């Protein structure tokens, strides 16, 4: 009997945010076991939020992830406002969309240029790639800077911004600041479109999987902060019913929880979002997509990089729209008073997918309970499923280096942000 | 040959290492000065490489990290901590004053799958640190300044006086005196650029305690503004709860339940 057993170890995954590792066990060219290990140490955010005033929450949850702090801030702010029945009004609503444009631009640009594209052009890192493709890399860094500029306008700094609060923003940008940023964005728009065209020329692998795509969906706009949770398989629920359909379990190899929708893995993030919401993109963005030849919905996970590029362009177009209509408000936030105890829910579209929060506050506005479901834990089961399918499709007889490279590329499609291993308490789901 | 630099990650949010890659000019500037031999998020992976400067983000909260930091120290001429987690333990050090085991049980269905220390501690609890960069997060300017100082043999010097001085130099109107906000500026190290007061809000001490802060007197002032003692304690028990100055103040004003701390890092 010919038993060939090989183990492929990738002890530290390069170019992902946070740290993870992958172990494959192959027996007679069949995948015997596959373990994606996430060993990001837990930091217990949901626990130390308990007992704190609601007003601390927005500053604390920003620190769950240095790459997508705004997602956590926005989900928390909406959840807390829903406890108090506060509607911050149209100015705050628009500024929150603008704030989010900044986060998508910076996070997606970081991923497209520094983390993902070196894979497709056979470089070990963007630093190596920059020697051969200096214009593309420096353009990427310039685009990333646009994101920082937007975040800084409303948040004072791009990592752990300090401008957002329950009820709105601490400070409204001046007309001069808004105009200066508008000009910068308009000047950059055509090179952002060029970036989208360039990304579409990258030689990406062609895979085709039946993927359950989950995202927010709003009747009138491409989603950032509001909408129902929907899937391409017919799910359509208010965000407060999330726990009735989704469940997370704790598996031995990981400090990140595994998430399932009705028992099945599912995808969140840019590809799921664009697949579910393509019709809501402005005509200008749709025209650019048509020019690139990429079709949505797409069932190829490798189109994630294209989806990210399109969302960068959309964010620039949307930010320009918001800033063209910008006016200084009488007040940059509504007054907030802890009026009653209760539960609140928030769900917003982080760059990597929906970021779902639930808080219970007491009648003094102190947190009694919190549950935070970050995007990467939702993608975890789907990443493992994708790895199994893609590696078997490639053929496990291929040399280790090829298997390793494909596995790493598959994982990077999800832009896993492993530092967000915050977890939550849900004892109902412990079935093992 | 260019000096060799590693950027390591421990328990953290990844936000401080972004100081190297968030700003294109900084990234290109740094890579023109040094070789980045280990920086997993940016690409190169070689955690055990001998280097001239090791930057460390994050606190020590697992047995693996406890071993790893000793190896990094052996392999590095200079060891520089970047950010609150590495320098003081960070937000997650709040577990040090709570019953950490209960907290793990509260979050995980199977705490036995986890391999964690009860505490999250700063790097300097475990090995000698040559330079500490405070901040939650550190700024690109801080890391570039540190690289340039170390490469040119200059003794680094970051501000230790209070954020108030920075705030005054910017011409901000004091939010504590004029609006009664519980601004932590008087007991907080400068370095951020007085961002919060310039946005009309109270500082919450991203940069940690300033030199010789009078925390008791300051806390009394916050009580005078109408804060309850436990609210005063929570102002200290935030990002830098594990610093001796703020830990003492937190205990004094009695915030979250306090379990006696153990200074031993091992278990």
Beta strands in chain B (DSSP E): 4-9, 35-38, 51-57, 76-82, 131-133
- Among A210-214, A379-383, A414-418, B19-23, top mean pLDDT goes to A210-214
pLDDT of residue A408: 83
Which tokens belong to B89?
Answer: 């333990």
| Across A411-419, average pLDDT | 77
Q: Which of A102-116, A332-346, A412-426, B164-178 is the least confident region? A: A412-426
| Of A431, A424, A429, nearest in space to A360 by CA | A424
Q: Tally Cβ neighbours within 10 Å of residue A221.
A: 16
The 3 state secondary structure assigned to A214-281 is: EEEECCCCCCCCCCEEEECCCCEECHHHHHHHEEEECCCCECCCEEEECCECCECCHHHHHHHHHHHC
Q: Mark whether B188 and B240 lie in a shared domain.
A: yes
Mean pLDDT calculated for residue range A142-164: 97
**A22 contacts: CB under 8 Å, gap ≥ 6:** A8, A9, A10, A13, A34, A35, A36, A37, A387, A407, A408, A411
H helices then E strands: how many in chain B?
12, 5
A369 in reach of chain B (CB within 8 A):
no
The CATH number assigned to the domain with range A45-403+419-429 reads 1.10.645.10
Whether residues B177 and B234 share a domain: the answer is yes
Q: Which residues of A touch B238 (CB under 8 A)?
A: 56, 60
Q: Are residues B146 and B98 in the same domain?
A: yes
* Predicted local distance difference test score (pLDDT) of residue B62: 87
Cβ atoms A333, A92 nearer than 8 A:
yes
How many Cβ atoms from other residues are within 10 Å of residue A84's Cβ?
18
In a domain, B120, yes or no: yes
Annotate A359-407 with DSSP letters as a single string.
EEE-TTSBEEEEEEE-HHHHHHHHHHHHHHHHHHHH-TTS-HHHHHHHH
pLDDT digits (tens, 9 = 90+) for A63-83: 999 999 999 999 999 999 999
Predicted confidence at residue A167, as pLDDT, reads 98
Range of the domain at B208: 163-252
- Tokens describing residue B153: 């043999």
B176 and B52 co-located in one domain: no
The domain locations on chain A are: 5-38, 45-403+419-429
Query: Which tokens in the block code for residue A16?
Result: 């992902």
In whole angstroms, what is the distance from residue B89 CA to residue B96 CA? 9
Residue B203 in tokens: 């500082």
Specify if B44 maps to a domain: yes
Q: Are B21 and A110 in contact (CB under 8 A)?
A: yes
Q: Copy the structure tokens of residue A218.
A: 């709003």
Is residue A417 helix, strand or coil?
A: strand
Of A14, A17, A53, the CB nearest to B14: A17
Q: What residues have CB less than 8 Å from B74, skipping those under 6 apart?
A: none
Let me know whether B238 and B209 are in one domain: yes
B103 and B40 in a common domain: yes
- Mark whether B45 and B93 lie in a shared domain: yes
Grade residue A19 by pLDDT with cuts at 50, 70 and 90: low
Residue B234 lies in a domain: yes
Residues 6+ positions from A91 with CB-CB distance below 8 Å: A168, A327, A329, A332
CB A34 within 8 A of CB A25: yes
Q: Which residues pair with A367 in a beta bridge?
A: A361
The answer to whether residues B146 and B113 belong to one domain is: yes
**Which has the higher per-residue pLDDT, B196 or A29?**
B196
The DSSP code sequence of B21-47 is: HSSHHHHHHHHHHSEEEE-TTTS---T
Q: For residue B224, tell me if it sits in a domain.
A: yes
Residue A158 — pLDDT band, cuts 50, 70, 90? Answer: very high
Chain B within 8 Å of A9 (Cβ-Cβ)? no
Instruction: Name the nearest CA neighbour of B218 among B163, B167, B262, B259.
Output: B163
Q: What separation, in Å, do the N-terminal and C-terminal C-alpha atoms of chain B show? A: 41
pLDDT at position A423: 31
Confidence of residue A432 (pLDDT cuts 50, 70, 90): very low
**Domain shared by B224 and B133, yes or no:** no
More reliable by pLDDT, A225 or B114 = A225
B267 located within any domain: no
> How far apart, in whole angstroms, are the C-alpha atoms of residue B24 and residue A138?
7
pLDDT of residue A8: 57
Calculate how close chain B gets to A44, using CA atoms only, in Å: 7
Tokens coding B200:
């009309």
Domain boundary at B119, B151, B183, which? B151
In this complex, is the C-beta atom of A127 within 8 Å of any C-beta atom belonging to chain B?
yes
Same domain, B175 and B205: yes
Question: Final residue of a domain: which of B124, B151, B178?
Answer: B151
Whole-angstrom distance, CA of residue A195 vs CA of residue A111: 13
The terminus-to-terminus CA distance of chain A in angstroms comes to 35
Which residue of chain B is at minimal alpha-carbon distance from A60?
A: B91
Cβ pair A12:B40 closer than 8 A: yes
- Residue B124 within any structural domain of the chain: yes
Residues 92-151 of B with CB under 8 A from A: 92, 94-95, 98, 100, 103-104, 106-110, 113-114, 116, 120, 136-137, 139
**Residue of A47, A119, A331 to mutate, interface with B, max B Cβ within 10 Å:** A47
User: How many domains does one find in chain B?
Assistant: 2
pLDDT at A174: 98
Q: Which of residues 151-210 of A touch B (CB under 8 A)?
A: 156-160, 162-163, 165, 170-171
* Same domain, yes or no: B139 and B59: yes
pLDDT value of position A431: 20
Whole-number percent of chain A with pLDDT over 90 = 70
Q: For residue A7, what pLDDT is reported?
A: 57
Indicate the average pLDDT of chain A: 89
- For B107, residues 6+ apart whose C-beta sits below 8 A from its C-beta are A42, A44, A46, A47, A423, A424, A425
**Is there a single domain that holds both residue B48 and residue B130?**
yes
A248 touches A257 (CB < 8 A):
yes
From the list A307, A306, A299, A303, the residue with the least C-alpha distance to A211 is: A299
pLDDT band, residue A425 (cuts 50/70/90)? very low
The one-digit pLDDT tens for each residue of chain B (267 residues) are: 899 999 999 999 999 999 998 877 788 788 889 999 998 888 888 889 999 999 999 999 988 899 999 999 999 999 999 999 999 999 999 988 777 677 677 666 666 666 677 889 999 999 999 999 999 999 998 999 999 999 998 888 888 899 999 999 999 999 999 999 999 999 999 999 999 999 999 999 999 999 999 999 999 999 999 999 999 999 999 999 999 999 999 999 975 554 554 544 433
């Amino acid at each position: 009997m010919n038993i060939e057993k090989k183990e492929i170890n990738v002890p530290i995954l390069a170019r992902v945010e946070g740290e993870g590792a992958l172990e494959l066990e192959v027996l007679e060219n069949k995948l015997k076991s596959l373990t994606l290990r996430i060993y990001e140490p837990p930091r217990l955010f949901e626990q130390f939020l308990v007992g704190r005033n609601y007003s601390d929450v927005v500053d604390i949850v920003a620190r769950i992830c240095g790459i997508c702090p705004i997602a956590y801030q926005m989900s928390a702010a909406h959840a807390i406002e829903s406890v108090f029945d506060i509607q911050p009004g149209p100015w705050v609503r628009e500024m929150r969309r603008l704030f989010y444009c900044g986060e998508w631009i910076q996070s997606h640009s970081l991923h497209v240029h520094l983390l993902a594209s070196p894979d497709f052009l056979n470089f070990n890192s963007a630093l190596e790639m920059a020697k051969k493709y200096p214009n593309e890399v420096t353009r990427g860094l310039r685009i990333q800077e646009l994101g920082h500029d937007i975040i800084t306008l409303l948040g004072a700094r791009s990592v752990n911004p300090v401008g957002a609060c329950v009820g709105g923003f601490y400070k409204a940008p001046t007309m001069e600041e808004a105009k200066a940023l508008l000009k910068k964005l308009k000047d950059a728009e055509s090179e952002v479109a060029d970036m989208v065209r360039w990304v579409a020329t990258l030689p990406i692998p062609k895979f085709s999987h039946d993927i359950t795509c989950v995202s927010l969906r709003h009747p009138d706009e491409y989603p950032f902060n509001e909408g129902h949770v929907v899937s391409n398989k017919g799910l359509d629920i208010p965000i407060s019913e999330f726990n009735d359909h989704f469940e997370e379990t704790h598996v031995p190899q990981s400090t990140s929880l595994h998430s399932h929708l009705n028992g099945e893995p599912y995808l969140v993030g840019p590809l799921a979002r664009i697949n579910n919401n393509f019709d809501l993109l402005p005509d200008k963005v749709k025209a650019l997509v048509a020019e690139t030849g990429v079709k949505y919905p797409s069932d190829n996970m490798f189109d994630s990089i294209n989806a990210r590029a399109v969302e960068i362009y959309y964010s620039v177009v949307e930010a320009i729209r918001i800033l063209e209509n910008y006016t200084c408000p009488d007040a940059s936030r509504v007054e907030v008073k802890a009026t009653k105890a209760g539960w609140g829910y928030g769900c917003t579209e982080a760059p990597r997918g929906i970021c779902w929060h639930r808080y219970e506050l007491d009648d003094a506005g102190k947190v009694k309970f919190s549950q935070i479901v970050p995007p990467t834990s939702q993608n975890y089961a789907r990443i493992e499923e994708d790895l199994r399918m893609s590696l078997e499709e490639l053929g496990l007889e291929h040399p280790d280096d090829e298997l390793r490279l494909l596995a790493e590329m598959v994982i990077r499609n999800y832009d896993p942000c492993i530092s967000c291993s915050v977890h939550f308490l849900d004892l109902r789901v412990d079935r093992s | 040959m260019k000096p060799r630099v590693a950027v390591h990650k421990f328990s953290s949010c990844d936000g401080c290492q972004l100081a190297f890659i968030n700003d294109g000019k900084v990234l290109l500037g740094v890579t023109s000065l040094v070789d980045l031999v280990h920086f997993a998020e940016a690409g190169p992976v070689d955690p055990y490489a001998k280097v001239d400067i090791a930057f460390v983000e994050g606190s020590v909260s697992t047995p693996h990290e406890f071993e790893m930091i000793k190896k990094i120290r052996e392999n590095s001429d200079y060891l520089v901590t970047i950010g609150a987690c590495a320098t003081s333990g960070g937000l997650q050090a709040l577990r040090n004053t709570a019953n950490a085991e209960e907290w793990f049980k509260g979050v995980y269905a199977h705490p036995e799958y986890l391999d964690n220390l009860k505490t999250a501690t700063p790097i300097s609890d475990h090995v000698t640190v040559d330079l500490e960069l405070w901040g939650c997060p550190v700024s690109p300017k801080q890391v570039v300044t540190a690289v340039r100082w170390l490469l040119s043999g200059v003794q680094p010097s970051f501000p230790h006086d209070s954020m108030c001085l920075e705030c005054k130099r910017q011409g901000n109107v004091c939010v504590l005196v004029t609006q009664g906000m519980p601004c932590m500026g008087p007991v907080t190290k400068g370095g951020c650029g007085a961002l919060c007061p310039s946005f009309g809000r109270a500082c919450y001490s991203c940069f940690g305690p300033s030199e010789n802060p009078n925390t008791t007197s300051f806390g009394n002032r916050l009580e005078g503004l109408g804060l309850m003692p436990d609210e005063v304690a929570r102002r200290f028990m935030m990002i830098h709860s594990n610093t001796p100055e703020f830990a003492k103040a937190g205990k004094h004003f009695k915030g979250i339940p306090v379990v006696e701390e153990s200074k031993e890092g091992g278990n």
